[in-house]
Chains A and B, each alone.
Chain A
């Protein structure tokens, strides 16, 4: 069966550390993978997009990797801050699709001061 799994429902880290979130998928062939941030009571906000032929993307303190052999994406936040506390969602876009996103359940990140 097809599955998207994000490593844990919750991740607690200390301010200043690097947060690493994992997204694994099974029986999908995505053309793109996107990461979104969602705050309580709000819609998801786009962070980064990585294509199947790209290994790594960076944006400020954010880095995402994409390994189509392992069927895994890693999302890193360096020098984390309490303001980074939110739920982070990974989403796949399948080849030949109309662009609709297939989301994981999300990982709730808490950064403690």
Chain B
């Protein structure tokens, strides 16, 4: 596709439920990042994939959060036993090379997760 695509754009779930958020990066981009953005804040790093492997998952807040990228393209962020504090916009970004530091990140439009 032309850009990073995230689905769904909005998700409302009940406290305690399990959710999956999908990210389809720009074709050929090997680096993929997940961020979380709360209202009035900047995006906060969650996890980074280089290819299929999670190269840095230091931003995941706890073990209820998990992400995969089995074929090195599409990634899924999984949240178990959701809590109201998980409500935020979840952003995915991809970058064309391993040297993500020196290149721009291309962001999707985000998934707005609301836990009620």
Chain A residues packing against B (C-beta within 8 Å): 4, 9, 31-32, 34, 36, 41-46, 49, 51, 89, 91, 93, 97-106
Judge if B110 is at the interface, Cβ distance under 8 Å: yes
Seen from chain B, the residues whose Cβ lies within 8 Å of a Cβ on chain A are 4, 31, 33, 35, 40-45, 48, 50, 55-56, 59, 91, 93, 95, 99-110
A51 vs B102: C-alpha distance when bound (angstroms)? 8
A31 to B44 CA separation, bound complex (whole angstroms): 19
The reply to whether A46 and B106 contact each other, CB–CB distance below 8 Å, is yes
CB–CB B91/A100 < 8 A: no
Q: Which of A31, A49, A103 contacts B42 (CB 8 A)?
A: A103
CA–CA, A89 and B108, complex, Å: 16
Known A-B contacts A41-B109, A43-B110, A99-B48; A105 and B42 likewise in contact (beta carbons under 8 Å) = yes
Known: A98-B50, A98-B55, A100-B48. A32 touches B102 (CB 8 A): yes
4 further interface pairs, Cβ-Cβ under 8 Å (given A49-B103, A97-B101): A9-B40, A34-B104, A46-B105, A99-B31
Closest to B55 in A: A98
**In angstroms, how far is the closest chain A Cβ from the Cβ of B19?**
19
Q: Which residues of B contact A93 (CB under 8 A)?
A: 100-101
Instruction: Please tell me if the beta carbons of B100 and A105 are within 8 angstroms of each other in the complex.
Output: no
Complexed CA–CA distance, A46 and B110 (Å): 15
Given contacts A32-B102, A49-B104, whether A101 and B109 have CB atoms under 8 Å apart is no
Residues of A within 8 A of B56 (CB): 97-98, 100
> Is A103 within 8 A of B101, CB to CB?
no
